[in-house]
Amino acid sequence: MTLPDSAKSRLAYIDWMRGLACVLMFQTHCYDSWLSPQARQSRFFMYSQLGGTFPAPLFLFLAGISFALVTEKLWRKDVPAAQIARTTIARGAEIFVYGLLFRLQEYVIAWGWAPKSDLLRVDVLNTIGLSMMLMGVMCWAVLAWVSLAGLRPAGRAKAPVPTYSAHSAHGRLALVLAAGGTALLISLLSPPLWTTWRPTWLPWPLESYVDGVHNLGVPQAGLFPVFPWTGFAFAGLAVGFILQSQWAKTLEWRAFISIGLAGAVLIEFARWLDRQPRQFYAVDDYWHTSPSFFLIRVGMLLVILAGSYSWCRWGAGQWGFSPLIQLGQASLLVYWVHIEFVYGRVSILPKHRMGIGGASAGLAVITLAMLAAAYVRTKTKGRGVELMPWLHRSPAQAS
């Protein structure tokens, strides 16, 4: 069974999850920017920031799924592995450049009080771009290996280059295992690379991409270095290739329910692992680099994926206008714009001076304004120059 074709795409759950990430991002940024020091001591603020641990993993996880859809499309057309790599890596580089331009814009708007070091902050757009480039390299290596492995089957001296149909099952399994293994490896390496294995011999702009140190001498929690953040993209890549399998396409709803159950099991396993008396790492920052917390968040992402599919398949996600789907279709735009009205000079409320009620009212204004901007952007799509078309493109268009 497949999601019925309607006004919403068959892959509307991806846009819905992007929209959810946007809403969580809005509340995290608004309360962080506007709440007074007294309000920041409340349990309310603590939970708002706990919710803020999910937008970046969601964006990266969905980037991995979308990357798998694009790679699968090219692979299905028997495009050579090297050409697939060039296409996907170039797109990742494009997003990385836009991340740098975003930092430049922030610096220009904050001219006079923003330090020059802000130009080299490792933000989530930079990490999404880097993740895509790294995923492109990994997919190239795996697909090239699959191609070479099929050149000389046993008993034959030579065979033509294998086609997608001949080797899709084995190649997809190799891609899933490679992506999942890479995600786990990134998570396992994160604690030492933030502490005892820190590459202090690198200039800080480069080291910051490893451990988020920036120019402050110690890793910063508000940055998005390769370790551990790209692990979420590779986890999404593995899931994306699973969803392209014949099993998942034939029994789609069962596949999503199975993914959700797997996520619940992963959460419980990670919690059990964290309760063990003997710990693997001598120094471990649970909330930022712990593999246990990484697995919990991956498990939560799988549960959210199953839930969003169910909402779009059987719930209200397909009933007329969906605010989350609308936001998800313009996630880059609302990410880019809302920052200025929350953290920038044109903040709609005074920073660090509001109570919970006032900040909540500001959050409602920001959310409605970004929803309106997303609506206008989707309605005027194609009437002007499209910014970052591949990142903006609906998942249905990419598959």
Distance, in Å, from the CA atom of 240 to the CA atom of 62, rounded to the nearest integer, reads: 9
Query: Is the residue at 94 inside a domain?
Result: yes
Distance, in Å, from the CA atom of 392 to the CA atom of 15, rounded to the nearest integer, reads: 10
Residue closest to 63 by CA, chosen among 309, 189, 261, 235: 235
The total of structural domains in the chain comes to 1
Query: Is the residue at 7 inside a domain?
Result: no
Query: Is the residue at 367 inside a domain?
Result: yes
pLDDT reported for residue 8: 43
What global pTM score does this model have? Answer: 0.89
365 CB-contact burial (10 Å; exposed 0-12 / middle 13-18 / buried 19+) = middle
| Region at 79 (left for phi over 0; alpha for psi -120 to 50; beta for the rest) | beta
Query: Is the residue at 91 inside a domain?
Result: yes
pLDDT reported for residue 390: 39
Query: Is the residue at 6 inside a domain?
Result: no
Query: Is the residue at 368 inside a domain?
Result: yes
Question: Do 34 and 362 form a contact (C-beta atoms < 8 A)?
Answer: yes
pLDDT reported for residue 221: 85
pLDDT reported for residue 118: 87
| CA trace torsion 128, 134, 138, 144 (10° rounding) | 110
pLDDT reported for residue 150: 61
Q: Give the range of the structural domain holding residue 150, as residue numbers without chain letter.
A: 12-398
Query: Is the residue at 240 inside a domain?
Result: yes
Residue closest to 69 by CA, chosen among 153, 4, 147, 13: 13
pLDDT averaged over 10-residue windows placed end to end, the chain, 399 residues = 40 91 95 94 91 91 95 89 93 93 85 83 94 96 82 45 62 93 96 92 95 91 93 97 91 93 96 85 83 95 94 77 90 90 89 94 96 90 44 42
Angle at 328 between CA 8 and CA 123, to 5 degrees: 160
pLDDT reported for residue 163: 58
Rounded to 10°, the helix 12-34/55-76 angle is 150
Query: Is the residue at 69 inside a domain?
Result: yes
pLDDT reported for residue 351: 92
